[in-house]
Amino acid sequence: MSHPFDLTGKVAAVTGANTGIGQAIALALASAGADIACVCRGESAEIVAQVAARGRRGAAIVADLSSSAPAERIVAETVERLGQLDILVNNAGTIRRGAAVELTEDDWDAVVDTNLRTAFFLSQAAARQMIAAGCGGRIINVASMLSFQGGIRVASYTASKSGLAGLTKALANEWAPLGITVNAIAPGYIATNNTAALRSDVERERGILDRIPAGRWGEPGDIGGAAVFLASDAAAYVQGHVLAVDGGWLAR
């Protein structure tokens, strides 16, 4: 008898699956039984091999998510190669740091287009497929602590991640009656490429660690369990929620 977190027979598409949080989520979902479409801009042979090592099918889908143009192709290719699409994880993202008075339109657009625009149109394409298949589905967005806070020198990133939290709720309202859950995970301060600049700044890092009750930076693997939960039947009645996985940062 399967348990409520069992994803056997499900297919998940995970964007940015070749590194960091995306890789951790892809492997957690595979370990729970899902086959994985690994959506990456570049090399993805390693993550596909790691999925296969867990006894699941993995498919590499190459896409540049700085534009929403590949959205429909990603969904179509996932269905063509793995047979269906049950779970979408919008993880791919980018960040540009700098003073707000110096932020260019190109910097703004690069961040908002990847983090918010593409996430919406990929969710739209996935929802259309899920509705047509008649089996419902799960959409999981990767938000941020800056979905709740303003941050420092990251105006476009904060705008995009705050927008993603709002979008999560809006889509949940529309698609819940169709059997599609839409939720988000808000990682705390995780040791990834995106936080390398913070971790290299001794004063800034100390200020961050002093506020985290857990007393450490998170690891990408810390996010995997939350993704499995939101993708599974255990979260069938969870809608429009932004789940913070932050070592207690927001509680402080």
The values of phi and psi at residue 137, to 5°, are 175, -175
Q: What is the amino acid identity at position 74?
A: I
Residue tagged active-site, from 157, 189, 217, 229: 157
Q: Which two tokens stand for residue 65?
A: 């998510």
Could you tell me how far CA 4 lies from the centroid of its own chain?
21
Considering only CA atoms, which of 184, 146, 15, 145 is closest in space to residue 92? 15
SS3 call for 39: strand
DSSP letter assigned to residue 190: B
Is 189 a catalytic site residue? no
Going by C-beta distance under 8 Å and a sequence separation of 6 or more, which residues neighbour residue 33? 6, 7, 8, 9, 10, 56
Provide the annotated active-site residues: 157
